[in-house]
Chains A and B, each alone.
Chain A
Amino acid sequence: MALITLYDRYAPTLLALLQNILGASTESDELLQELFLEVWCKASTYQPQRGTVRAWLILRARERGLQMLEERDDLEPHEPPVAFLPPDWDPAIHPAEVAGEDPLFGQERAAVQRAVGALPRDQQRILAWYYFANTGPEAATKAFPLRPEHMFAHLTVAHQQLREIMHQTRR
């Protein structure tokens, strides 16, 4: 079944993303399953001219994860890791390839990690916050005491720096 092929290929990436947004919880597991059911039911709406299946899945997972984060009314909300790379990240001690995974996937991951790792710390922090924790303008104001135009500039420069490396490595 086509959906299970997609699941086997992308579920580990999507679960890593959801756990970064929501924490390693049953919520992340349940959302992963819901996401694939949604994909199955809405497969007819996928339009290749709007992007690859991989991008469709990852962008939808991020959107659903952030929605769920925003809907939480915990007094002490989960603090997501809000980082693409661990603070002690070093390509020599953090191999990108994972046992059993398509090796080309690991090569792409290593290249993207290097690209993100080359960004200045401030840009990494802002990019990661918007990626994993963006629950709206109020939360952004609390997280960063920067004027919106400065945030925008940080994101734009980060994207320009990442883009070249990412396009070269994309599968």
Chain B
Amino acid sequence: MTGHPEDALFAYQLGALNAEEANRVQNHLQTCVRCGSLLAQVGEDIAQLALTLPPVQPQPVIRESLLYSLSEINRFTELLAPLTEQLGKSAAETQTVLDRLDEPGAWSEGDLAGVHLHPVNDIPGATFVRLTPGTAMPLDETTRTTVLILQGTCRGTAGTMHNAGEVLQVQGDKPFDYIAMAGPDLIYLSRDQESSPS
């Protein structure tokens, strides 16, 4: 196998290559954007094959159990440290803020379609924002804003992708600068710099 391993990507994704060949493909993928994109297409093909099977409706108890488990966990805990820094609160206080995000009725509809808001009560200018995919980030044209992404991906200026854990310094001088990409809703903490303590 030399050059781009296009022909090997299907077998690679299925786990059908020997260890040496799999390592070679893996190493190539780390530096080749083109083959990374082809691998994503091969992944779609492999996923689509699962559709050949007649679907099996799960027992209702699995759904109920899942709902119960979801009420017991908070998925943002891994981002506790950067959030604590952004909010200037203790870890315990930040965890309480995070827990509220999953409470029923935590989000109110924003002025724009696809935008939901959850202001942080005691911090002026700090708001959690949830955007459905395809929605542009609502930005104030005059205020610089610090954004910490908690979930999802957004495409920024020049097509750059930004993922969970990233901190952006943004200003709304152009409409549609940052757009929530397909997948789970984009959730981020937005903090006006003018409102932040120095």
| A contact residues vs B (CB 8 Å cutoff) | 1-4, 7-8, 11-17, 19-20, 24, 29, 32-33, 36-37, 40-55, 57-59, 61-62, 66, 84-85, 94, 98, 101, 105, 108-109, 112-113, 116, 127, 130-131, 134, 137, 140, 148, 151-152, 155-156, 159, 162-163, 166-167, 170
Please determine whether A12 and B57 come into contact, CB atoms closer than 8 angstroms: yes
Contact residues in B for A61 (Cβ distance below 8 Å): 50
Chain B stretch 35-75: residues in CB contact (< 8 A) with chain A: 36-37, 40, 42-59, 62-63, 65-67, 69-70, 73, 75
B185: interface (CB < 8 Å): yes
Which of B37, B62, B164 is the one whose CB lies under 8 Å from A32? B62
Shortest beta-carbon distance from B128 to chain A in Å: 14
Shortest beta-carbon distance from A71 to chain B in Å: 15
Contact residues in B for A101 (Cβ distance below 8 Å): 55
A-B contact pairs, 10 of them (CB 8 A): A15-B57, A19-B56, A41-B73, A41-B75, A46-B152, A46-B184, A49-B153, A50-B40, A62-B46, A98-B54
Interface centre among A7, A12, A14, A44 (most CB of B within 10 A): A44
Please determine whether A140 and B182 come into contact, CB atoms closer than 8 angstroms: no
Contact residues in A for B152 (Cβ distance below 8 Å): 43-44, 46
B167: interface (CB < 8 Å): no
Alpha-carbon distance A98/B152, docked complex (angstroms): 32
Alpha-carbon distance A109/B161, docked complex (angstroms): 32
Please determine whether B76 and A44 come into contact, CB atoms closer than 8 angstroms: yes
Contact residues in B for A84 (Cβ distance below 8 Å): 49, 52-53
B79: interface (CB < 8 Å): yes
B18: interface (CB < 8 Å): yes
Q: Which DSSP category, helix, strand, loop or mixed, fits chain A's interface?
A: helix
Please determine whether B163 and A47 come into contact, CB atoms closer than 8 angstroms: yes
B7: interface (CB < 8 Å): yes
Contact residues in B for A47 (Cβ distance below 8 Å): 153, 161, 163, 183
Of chain B, the residue at the smallest CB distance from A155 is: B11
Shortest beta-carbon distance from B62 to chain A in Å: 5
B113: interface (CB < 8 Å): no
Of chain B, the residue at the smallest CB distance from A37 is: B69
Please determine whether B49 and A130 come into contact, CB atoms closer than 8 angstroms: no
Please determine whether B58 and A40 come into contact, CB atoms closer than 8 angstroms: no
Contact residues in A for B76 (Cβ distance below 8 Å): 44
Please determine whether B52 and A37 come into contact, CB atoms closer than 8 angstroms: no
B32: interface (CB < 8 Å): no
Of chain A, the residue at the smallest CB distance from B187 is: A44
Contact residues in A for B57 (Cβ distance below 8 Å): 12, 15
Alpha-carbon distance A8/B62, docked complex (angstroms): 11
Alpha-carbon distance A104/B24, docked complex (angstroms): 39
Which of B47, B53, B73 is the one whose CB lies under 8 Å from A40? B73
B16: interface (CB < 8 Å): yes
Please determine whether A48 and B182 come into contact, CB atoms closer than 8 angstroms: yes
Q: Chain B 172-198, CB within 8 Å of chain A: the 1/0 string?
A: 000000000111110000000000000
Which of B55, B66, B183 is the one whose CB lies under 8 Å from A12? B55
